Chain A
């Protein structure tokens, strides 16, 4: 596999681009692996990469029912930020942002991490109180996040309407300048290439039908469409399908899978310099490097694996966008799509050992998994390699649902009044 650089681009262009080789091979399964990772999204591929690179474990397979990066990695709105309230979350996401900042160089693959800033809008007094609580907490955690007045919000994001006549006028915003976006596919591909270079097998279109256990209860391997594959350890990173996979090992999780929709507009010349999120009106928007406005919607109310999602939610999402950015009313929606997100009761992830020896799980990312990709992959690899959690993911256990020690970011932004 060739090193990527401007020089290699020039050289290959000169030779008609015929010299490029595959970024990862089309592997066939071996009989046994030290670690099998179920789910070849950014989280799974990243875990394989860090297992190989940082823990010297290279006899690893990443198995996916479809093509790599084809799940939520390739379907999200690519927002990256770390201005979370609780220490546990802030640490995990900030660890991720640290890794994001060097990821292109680390992988020799341009993932286009763009520090364009994420601005979260406050539309009522409760938002203001909540955001200020975040800002103070972030400051003392060493996470950047600062308060902007409505005019400062407008200066930072010119398409924004700060009209006091709006149904929900902007009362200010919290800005994390270090936050931004990245190119989602490149993350999966970069990790895949990096892992493959280090000897990891990537098995695509190979659905895992069951996790098998030894009589003593420990993990034995996985049944797949291509037969049984033995494994010393199995690490599940299957997003919306985690419940289904884990069920086969008799591990039941506090997860529900919901359809989440997103959409893009037709491409336009750069007009939107940052990311804006507005929880109160349910609008999330940025502009891709291609020029499309990338807009996140919410989850439908019912659990589903259909990846379809309904029209009313899209109507509401677009209405929310035009409420905050009225100049986009004549823009056109180009495409909308759906993903399946696995949601925990406290809306925080689980990166944890399980009651089954040798079985690990990284799940429950809900709508926020992309931003965590490097950090989650990094700490998950540690957890699998050492059979104990990294200090950063130690709070993200399964046990917290028994003890009540939840990491409830959503509740902390509670809306009663």
Chain B
């Protein structure tokens, strides 16, 4: 049961619904107003995207930090740079010093250590369509296969997947479109130090429980109380005598007339049923015989 009576009333639901799903125009307007309020050095180069449009994994991003890319548009067109970071809010890529940069004025409060001027060079966020992957492939001109050639990959396709030890997750094989046997490996990520509470991946992946029956649950019946939420809204409890008085109305007392009627009915039903005895049958037979004999005499 909800505390705001949503289970009973829909009052105000329209406003809450509007807040949850604002119209597109309102969203655009709000983004614009928000951008106006930010100083230039904090303004993002790309629009902030709604959560459902943001990239979720390597399949969406295509280029991971460490990948070499060539810039296709803008002032840094033709430069080969390395991806240093993803900007998850805008689906943008931040490149190293070979990528495009902008010079903005930063107030003194935001200065970093060693900064001597207000003007700072910041990397410009780039969209995925502004970039193309750069890879080293075997030079087809060299039959020995010893030399490699730097190429820009027009398009990427994914084929199958494998567990990547460094990323600690399943990763798709990144192939060149039209040449599925040519796999471009993912860049090696920065190694992450395990925290003091981390469990070794070998230990975590070791199987310690085997299902012995699909008909019977492995959790004992008594243990359910401990694993289920004691404050669940579905756990309503049972009807108490006090609840019963709220749910069940009292009975209307019977009137004197009704009582007398019921009494009479009871009496009528309890009367002994007359039974046809042999003597009665004999008497009836005698009467019929007398009647028939009288008829014959006439």
Partners in one complex: no
Which residues of A come within 8 Å of B, CB atoms?
none
Interface residues of B (CB under 8 A from A): none
